[in-house]
Amino acid sequence: MQESSSLQGHGGVALLIDADNLSSPESVEEALRRLTELVGPVAIRRAYGSADNLKGLATVMRDLAIRPTLNDPLTKNTTDMLLAVDALDLWYECAPAVIAIGTGDADFAPLALRLRERGVRLICFSQKTKLSPDIRAYYEQVFIVRSKSAADTEPAPKAKAKAPPAKKTAPRAKAVPKARPPTPALAAPPPVAAPAQPALAEAVAAILAVVPGLQDGQTVALNDAVKLLHDAKLIGKNGSSIKFFKKYAAHFELSPETQPTRLRFLAG
């Protein structure tokens, strides 16, 4: 009780990161840097997520003194709930003047409303592909942070070497070709029709219809989504979910990159 009362009216700044959503070390580093430039020192720095996602942020959490908060290993992901409960505890204990949440998930809308009603300045940091289109109104400011640029991870294309100019040689006398009897023209074989495949848009629509929450921009557990797709016979009994979603990489995102556990629809 003494500690709680001594923190009342602290008016500090907190950065709470949903590591199951904002899982890139570069994004986390940029979020902290931009928040510091905007409002000053960030006293409370915490990251919430599964063991795999927090492991991917181990270096940046150590370098930036961010406290890891491990989520319970349940079949249903509860990271959002854990972060929301912690945010309300912080408000009761030390009443931060600013709380920034590192996520683009619309699940945090009720939390943002409750904190805003208590006079807290709400800021959101998210990657463009993970930002729910409905979330902007719930925050005072929304900032897009980026992962490591493609220029840092992909080698630049090599310029093709120009072929040396051909040496000019004296023209040779053309040999007179011997006359050959004309050959009968062969009829071209009829084109082989490609096997009919379902339209990509129809396949994506079928996935969205089977897995609730994806259409609304929510991040869902991959295991739950795969079970629904198995039941709908969109994935074979022994089919690989990772290979299945690679066919639709432009529309669906698996995270983390190694041993993914989460699935999100890339709207737009």
Structure tokens at 210: 């089977």
Sheet holding 262-265, edge to edge: 219-221, 262-265, 252-255
- Prediction pTM value: 0.53
Neighbours of 234 (CB within 10 A): 17
Q: Domain 2-148, what fold?
A: Rossmann fold (3.40.50)
Question: How confident is the model at residue 204, as a pLDDT?
Answer: 81
- Residue environment code for 12-40, b if the CB has 16+ CB neighbours within 10 A, otherwise e: bbbbbbbbbbbbbbebbbbbbeebeeeee
Phi, psi of 136 (to 5 degrees): -60, -40
Question: How confident is the model at residue 203, as a pLDDT?
Answer: 81
pLDDT in tens, the chain (268 residues): 333 333 334 569 999 999 988 989 999 999 999 999 999 999 999 999 988 889 999 999 999 999 999 988 776 778 999 999 999 999 999 999 999 999 998 999 999 999 999 999 999 999 998 899 888 999 999 999 986 643 333 344 454 556 666 666 666 666 666 666 666 665 665 655 544 445 677 888 888 788 887 777 788 787 777 888 888 777 877 778 788 878 877 887 888 777 788 778 877 5
Phi, psi of 173 (to 5 degrees): -70, 130
Per-domain residue ranges for the chain? 2-148, 200-265
Question: How confident is the model at residue 108, as a pLDDT?
Answer: 93
Whole-angstrom distance, CA of residue 104 vs CA of residue 115: 17
Question: How confident is the model at residue 6, as a pLDDT?
Answer: 36
